[in-house]
Structure 1
């Protein structure tokens, strides 16, 4: 599988986030999603990384397969959860040897669940600030970190939250990707705060297409993202109407991205949930186009035959 399209003339660049499969059926779905979205030429695709050895191994296997079977640029998620510094450093070296040059460095959520108190290991990296420094000590990686337009739920105030981001940047972070949000004014104010604090790396909006409004609302509540009332009204009465819900979700998400583009933002990171059709529809509305896999090879062969 290869990417065969030229750069989009939409003025929009995208990246996609996937999560590693837990079952064979989920793996098939993941690769259908990758095949569906690869022709859109994302800048990179990231693969999440959870606590626990089996989850981490699945992430590594997914990354290795992306490198082997596609032309996509993978970014490996990395967390501090339940691992010593030596264990994390060894994982980083394994990824580097596989060909990974880009990491998404995160502290990670508590093993007790999202919203629960995080307790670092005494022999581990305490937070993403230390993790970024550890990555840079190993190699000159590209490093993306998390940013929170409505501040991290554990931060006491915005000043503390912005200071944490600044420390990540000072240690070598090259890009920030935000938690999802639905009010663009909130994101723009956050970027202004970051710029005033001397943070000048790209701050990429994290975009969450709404596959299931009830689930996204529940998750938003746990991670400190707000759900505006006007958005809830758009999905009212569509609980059992998947087709209409999908149309509304595509229109709403495209509307959000186009408004951000008008405000001067051009890079967007989509949380796909391994479900490609809705994301593909949104990207089509945004003007991103891609040939089907193999189209460029067929075209090249045709041109050669004509010559």
Structure 2
């Protein structure tokens, strides 16, 4: 099994707990709380690139705050390229909203000391939920992965490191079609189970567009380990709103969309010199609604929406599903 960080390097951050620490629920606890009347949903934001993007993000945050997601997460740029901005905004989300933030932490490009310092900064803000990812190489997500000389090689090690640092709740990534670096699905499933055994409480999947891939992932995890495999596997969805977001979806997922999905979107786009954006958007919302309803019917523990820092598409999907989402867009 992969080696752990040297024990001599470990220390606890428990003495850095915020006064509100005892009141911070875990993601799993929040899922249970929100599941009383409906399958819970959660949303993912991206670090904004500039002041205008940050202002838009906060408008979106306030809109979602009135929609009561089970949790929110803030992504982390390749190679830690948005580390400082991610840490600052995630801390503000914890301190200035009623939302439950999940901080991302990636191994790529970071020493163990840097990773510990970042976990410490999260702890200082009262954040106790961390999503641990190995991360993709900067520049080329499909390129060769190189361990930092003083870092960790595998997400499993990072899970143990975060657990050693204090009373944190840890999530990891899972891959319905297998990670592109895994030679086969059996190996990919073994990696997921290893991360769960290391102390992860749940996983969030990579984005997908065929619910069958999610269901088979869930079956594989349960077959590999009935205890660890029963931990929540939260499916990640992104409503398609234009053909441009098709390319973005394929970039984020590392997988081509299923032909039948592409056919529906291109048919909606029409044969004119420019795509029928309204029709493509309507079809994308319908596809996301169909997927979400199937996931609900199949007993998924929640739905995690990639928002690209906008609320409208997610709100429309939830409305289609019969959720009582009444939050209207806030004025600029």
TM range (shorter): 0.7 to 0.9
Q: 2:266 aligns with which of 231, 236, 243?
A: 236
String of CA shifts for 1:109-156, please: whole Å, max 9, x gaps: 001321111111121011211110100000121111100010000100
- Tell me the equivalent position of 1:305: none
The answer on whether the counterparts of 2:67 and 2:327 sit within 8 Å (CA) in structure 1 is: no
Cα RMSD over matched residues? 2.0
- More displaced stretch, 243-252 vs 150-159: 243-252
The answer on whether the counterparts of 2:319 and 2:325 sit within 8 Å (CA) in structure 1 is: no
Q: Using the TM superposition, give the Cα deviation of residue 79 of structure 1 relative to its aligned residue in structure 2, in angstroms.
A: 0.3
Pair 1:222–1:269, CA change in 2 (3 A)? closer
* d(CA) in 2 for partners of 1:222, 1:37: 22
- More displaced stretch, 235-244 vs 115-124: 235-244
1:109 pairs with 2:136: yes
Q: 2:118 aligns with which of 91, 111, 118?
A: 91
Pairing of 1:104-253 with structure 2 (within 5 A) = 104-198=131-225, 199-217=229-247, 219-220=249-250, 223-237=253-267, 238=269, 240-253=275-288
* d(CA) in 2 for partners of 1:53, 1:122: 16
SS at match of 2:182: coil
* d(CA) in 2 for partners of 1:97, 1:218: 34
Count of residues paired in the alignment: 288
String of CA shifts for 1:51-108, please: whole Å, max 9, x gaps: 4666111111211221222100000000012110011011101101111010010000
Pairing of 1:71-90 with structure 2 (within 5 A) = 71-90=98-117
- Tell me the equivalent position of 2:22: none
- More displaced stretch, 80-89 vs 239-248: 239-248
1:259 pairs with 2:259: no
- Using the size of structure 2 for normalisation, the TM-score is 0.82
- Tell me the equivalent position of 1:273: 308
* d(CA) in 2 for partners of 1:12, 1:173: 22
The answer on whether the counterparts of 2:238 and 2:249 sit within 8 Å (CA) in structure 1 is: no
Structure with larger RCO (C-alpha < 8 A, sep 6+): 1
* d(CA) in 2 for partners of 1:283, 1:83: 38
- More displaced stretch, 129-138 vs 31-40: 31-40
User: Structure 1: which 4+ aligned runs deviate by more than 6 Å?
Assistant: none
Pair 1:81–1:53, CA change in 2 (3 A)? closer
Q: Which runs of 5+ in 1 are unaligned?
A: 1-5, 294-307
- Using the size of structure 1 for normalisation, the TM-score is 0.88
The answer on whether the counterparts of 1:146 and 1:177 sit within 8 Å (CA) in structure 2 is: yes
Q: Which runs of 5+ in 2 are unaligned?
A: 1-32
